[in-house]
Structure 1
């Protein structure tokens, strides 16, 4: 039977609870164990796996936090069952959407070549227009929360709205 550097960890030592007589002996055995290429490679691989898992959890957490701040679509001018009393001022090919959250909302008008809207309640803030692949543009609103993007990329769009009232995102809009 061959002896391996970690075999002593499984047998009681002279002090009953530790197989090493002192910290120097433990340190020396750890140095010897890490000097073995296979053990060293396993430790490095485990550390790398733990690092990537930790980074993945951080990224997932930030995505989850934004999902928890998702605004609810309460009006869509293209919906047949739009609530009575909500005015659609577009009168043409644009689409009006209203999103509400607990502390912040946004009204958006989507036209063929632009997206404009206003934070609700009317307040200064910042709005980011994004696609699943990238942030397209970020702009500051005026004093009453008005913003305008003179671009409308093809495909799904999402708005992230930030104001003193909080941060929230719209659901993905299929365009």
Structure 2
């Protein structure tokens, strides 16, 4: 069924005042009013949830690609980093920004690519746990030992992006 302009004249709500008056009468019953209010509340919460999810999706769309993982290659057993502890090196690349990270037992350090000043935030699923400005060549270090997965949000003059979730 299509809507034509002459159909509008046949409806009981020819103007906003008539429609508003009928709506006030309709919702003046307590039961109906409560149902309308509950539906409006549900719709509002659903909308806010979609807005929040969209923000997370936008961040995931800036997800850096893991292009190197020292833990995934056939490295000789017992290889250690310069500090004497075992470490894992990860390299992430994006369109305008990347990051190289060395994950050690009690710290995470790295450098933004291209090397320039920026900002890095360390996140867990429950929220941000540390944040630091990088130096002039993009170097950063976190002396933390989070429990569970983590990700880095990195930004500089070229953009902002995040790494995928990493086991820790």
TM above 0.5: yes
User: CA separation in 1, counterparts of 2:19 and 2:26?
Assistant: 10
Structure of larger gyration radius: 1
| Residue 152 of structure 1: how far off its partner (Å) | 2.2
User: CA separation in 1, counterparts of 2:135 and 2:100?
Assistant: 15
111, 117, 120: which is aligned to 2:110?
117
Contact between 1:126 and 1:138, CA under 8 Å: does it hold in 2?
Answer: yes
Superposed CA RMSD in Å reads 2.2
| Residue 30 of structure 1: how far off its partner (Å) | 2.4
Could you tell me the TM-score, scaled by structure 2's length? 0.83
Structure 1 equivalent of residue 137 of structure 2: 144
Structure 1 equivalent of residue 56 of structure 2: 63
Contact between 1:159 and 1:170, CA under 8 Å: does it hold in 2?
Answer: yes
Contact between 2:12 and 2:18, CA under 8 Å: does it hold in 1?
Answer: no
Structure 2 equivalent of residue 10 of structure 1: none
Q: Report the CA distance shift for 1:73/1:36 in structure 2 as closer, same or farther (over 3 A).
A: same
Structure 1 regions of 5+ residues with no counterpart? 1-14, 83-87
User: CA separation in 2, counterparts of 1:168 and 1:45?
Assistant: 39
Residues 74-123 of structure 1 show CA distances to partners (whole Å, capped at 9, x for unaligned) of 111222268xxxxx993541111111111100011111111111100011
Partner SS state of residue 105, structure 2: coil
| Residue 41 of structure 1: how far off its partner (Å) | 1.2
Structure 1 equivalent of residue 149 of structure 2: 156
Q: Report the CA distance shift for 1:135/1:89 in structure 2 as closer, same or farther (over 3 A).
A: same
Could you tell me the TM-score, scaled by structure 1's length? 0.80
Structure 2 regions of 5+ residues with no counterpart? 1-7
